[in-house]
Structure 1
């Protein structure tokens, strides 16, 4: 008798297993935006674990820094795990409900004729919930939409790592130049102070000039020390993008002078649809739509079917049983959940429209900043810097001929270095603003800092 029961049960379980869904294909990684797409990225669609990368040593380039950050960024690795988790959720959302097996014994261990198992009734049943209304498909759609959002989160983070590394690299080059110029200023201040000290000792200059020279020397030293600290900070900030604690490289190379006229505003706004944040909002909207659809499917009751086998010890008879149950949707038709999902959908649509307006406004402001920085660069290169250079050259000639004092020469040199610093600040501002624009549209613009890698050769 037990062999018959096991055989029937095995056949039922086998039939249910045959109905189970096969592997689910999951496509969560969006097509990368154009900016930095040519650079290797890990983790990514093919791997989660970041590969081992040799530390950057010697003189490094922007392209090397970008590659190191994309390959070893701890933040990017964390987002890759989120995508993998979302893909696993898609697989889980696609499975069927598990069947239920039930074994029951009745009419035993009683009194008189019902004592022991002589009159026992043994039953074994197998039941399965059959989801109706498209619930399984709706769950899969919702999980896939959430996985797409995770994919866009990863892409946004990839662009963020790329642009943040580029910005930190530019800041490092600026800090290197500031340190170099502050060293030159301190060296000249020391030379002037020594020359004035000799003149004071020989009685050719009053002691007041020596005091002024010492003040200028102290200021130059303070500026040099501050530039040294800022340089050390910039180096550490850069290597933190690829998870390093201390920089192993000697210096960063690149040319901030490589500046071209900013693109037209219409050219920038024409690429607004490529904005990764807006693409993410489209995916978020798909999630809200899927949640609304899933709430609607909950209105349909699920069918529960079952079949079983009963054995009666008293008569040694066997009988089959079957049943169907269907909850009646009388009191709970899931109206509240449907209404809530619809309101969230409408809210997300408004937030997406707001995001579009915000991106458009930000790009317009950035374009104004680009034009302003470019005009300032032109004015500095055309007027201020040549004038400061001429003044310094004249002061040097006059100092050699004894027509002006050392303090006048020092003042002219400080003016020249100040002009160079102002030009460097304008160049830095231009490149950082350009990077911000490229981050918003997810694509390189004409004269792109990242795309041209600061004038590096391909």
Structure 2
């Protein structure tokens, strides 16, 4: 199975997601509706996965909050009445003073811009989180797809094992009729056929379970496909570890920390801006009922010592900002180790799978053929033939396991670097 880059979508989160583990299968001229490809599974997941769809609402909420952050302080209309409904000369409303005024706040210290910057940073972080989550979901889907392909290969191997067991049973029965083989070997051969049937049934049911697990990625409960399209044994070229790690540093998982740092920077700016006192102004007109005169009124107020009151918030914001850098460094160290493990395991498994396919399996197939001929001629025992058959089947199973390890490791590398290994 060969990995390659898919076409980029218009939205960054989608093309980065599709870039992940984009196993391109050698397609037939016409694909059956009952056959699923990985690209189809990726597209369905991007369109219908509930975990990814929820980010649409997160973005809408953050954009709505940004709209609020852009607003300037509201204007207030005030109506005051004084010196009425009292005693003596202030009885009734004849000596009342009524004032109609407008008031508002003049924000100082760049508070409005700090709020907008904070809202923009949160939107940016949500976008990177969406991309990182998309890569995680599609990485999980890809790994399960590879495991399901391995199960398909195991079904074919189990069918081969069953065919060998049935063929061996016929040979043993024929030799038993000739008196060259005891009846006990016939019974053992019959038991071997039964065990092969049990193994085949188990692998078939395992594949049915995996199909349901695949379908859940796009919200289905009943799989509409019966087989998966793909080959486990196409690996592609290797790349240098340093080149891969350089790409990891710009991956969405790391960019989430970069956006987190911008949020913390905005919080520091916002906390410092909060230390600057705002001016509250008031302007209006007052009417004196006793004389019928009117006069303008104006007022200006500013809180005292607000800078000292906000110093604690600034220190807390700075501490949170510094913690982000250490968290990013810790993640890079862990990702470095994870990437190197996947890189080394992929290289090792490619070597094992290649040698097994080119050297070991042909030798064991030839050995089984010669052992069977020798058994039919009475030169080898039944146990020798069984051992040769089991050794071949075990080696083919190891070949499948090595190939699936290559592709799962490759999928992890692509998820970590958010870029396909082959271009």
Using structure 2 for the length normalisation, give the TM-score.
Answer: 0.87
- Structure 1 gaps of 5+ residues are 1-28, 41-55, 452-458
* DSSP 3-state at the match of 2:232: coil
Deviation string 1:283-333 (CA, Å, 9 cap, x unpaired) is 111111111111111111001011122222232222221110100116834
Separation of aligned partners in 2, 1:348 and 1:199: 76
* DSSP 3-state at the match of 1:349: helix
Separation of aligned partners in 2, 1:133 and 1:331: 11
Separation of aligned partners in 2, 1:134 and 1:331: 14
- 1:287 to 2:269 alignment: no
**Superposed displacement of residue 191, structure 1:** 4.4
Contact 1:33 1:443 in 2 (8 A): no
Contact 1:124 1:309 in 2 (8 A): yes
Aligned equivalent of 2:83: 107
- 1:436 to 2:418 alignment: no
Separation of aligned partners in 1, 2:329 and 2:180: 75
- 1:92 to 2:68 alignment: yes
Query: Counterparts of 1:256-405 in structure 2 under 5 Å?
Result: 256-329=232-305, 332-398=308-374, 404=380
Separation of aligned partners in 2, 1:330 and 1:167: 56
Could you say if the C-alpha distance between residues 385 and 207 of structure 1 is closer, same or farther in structure 2, counting changes exceeding 3 Å?
Answer: same
Contact 2:215 2:223 in 1 (8 A): yes
- 1:177 to 2:159 alignment: no
- Of the structure 1 ranges 56-65 and 197-206, higher mean CA displacement relative to structure 2 is found in 197-206
* DSSP 3-state at the match of 2:280: strand
Separation of aligned partners in 2, 1:265 and 1:155: 23
Separation of aligned partners in 1, 2:96 and 2:381: 121
- Of the structure 1 ranges 380-389 and 410-419, higher mean CA displacement relative to structure 2 is found in 410-419
- 1:148 to 2:127 alignment: no
Contact 1:200 1:210 in 2 (8 A): yes
Could you say if the C-alpha distance between residues 261 and 396 of structure 1 is closer, same or farther in structure 2, counting changes exceeding 3 Å?
Answer: farther
Aligned equivalent of 2:99: 123
Separation of aligned partners in 1, 2:362 and 2:292: 113
Separation of aligned partners in 2, 1:289 and 1:346: 10
Could you say if the C-alpha distance between residues 337 and 38 of structure 1 is closer, same or farther in structure 2, counting changes exceeding 3 Å?
Answer: closer
Count residues in correspondence.
Answer: 404
Deviation string 1:337-381 (CA, Å, 9 cap, x unpaired) is 111111111111122222223222322222211211112112212
Separation of aligned partners in 1, 2:21 and 2:282: 57
Aligned equivalent of 2:6: none
**Superposed displacement of residue 262, structure 1:** 2.2
Aligned equivalent of 1:36: 18
Contact 2:252 2:418 in 1 (8 A): yes
* DSSP 3-state at the match of 2:18: coil
Over the aligned positions, Cα root-mean-square deviation in angstroms equals 2.7
- 1:207 to 2:183 alignment: yes
Contact 2:158 2:200 in 1 (8 A): yes
Query: Counterparts of 1:184-223 in structure 2 under 5 Å?
Result: 184-193=160-169, 196=172, 200=176, 204-223=180-199
Contact 2:20 2:418 in 1 (8 A): no
Contact 1:188 1:410 in 2 (8 A): no
Could you say if the C-alpha distance between residues 319 and 366 of structure 1 is closer, same or farther in structure 2, counting changes exceeding 3 Å?
Answer: same
Separation of aligned partners in 2, 1:32 and 1:217: 49
Residue of structure 2 aligned with 1:248, choices 224, 233, 239: 224
Q: Which has the higher contact order (CA 8 A, sep 6+)?
A: 2
Separation of aligned partners in 2, 1:78 and 1:246: 23
Contact 2:81 2:96 in 1 (8 A): yes
- Of the structure 1 ranges 223-232 and 143-152, higher mean CA displacement relative to structure 2 is found in 223-232
Could you say if the C-alpha distance between residues 77 and 291 of structure 1 is closer, same or farther in structure 2, counting changes exceeding 3 Å?
Answer: same
Could you say if the C-alpha distance between residues 377 and 412 of structure 1 is closer, same or farther in structure 2, counting changes exceeding 3 Å?
Answer: same
Contact 1:165 1:241 in 2 (8 A): yes
Separation of aligned partners in 1, 2:35 and 2:125: 39
Aligned equivalent of 2:395: 419
Separation of aligned partners in 2, 1:30 and 1:303: 43
- Structure 2 gaps of 5+ residues are 1-10, 23-31
**Superposed displacement of residue 152, structure 1:** 0.3
Separation of aligned partners in 2, 1:253 and 1:331: 66
Separation of aligned partners in 1, 2:319 and 2:168: 74
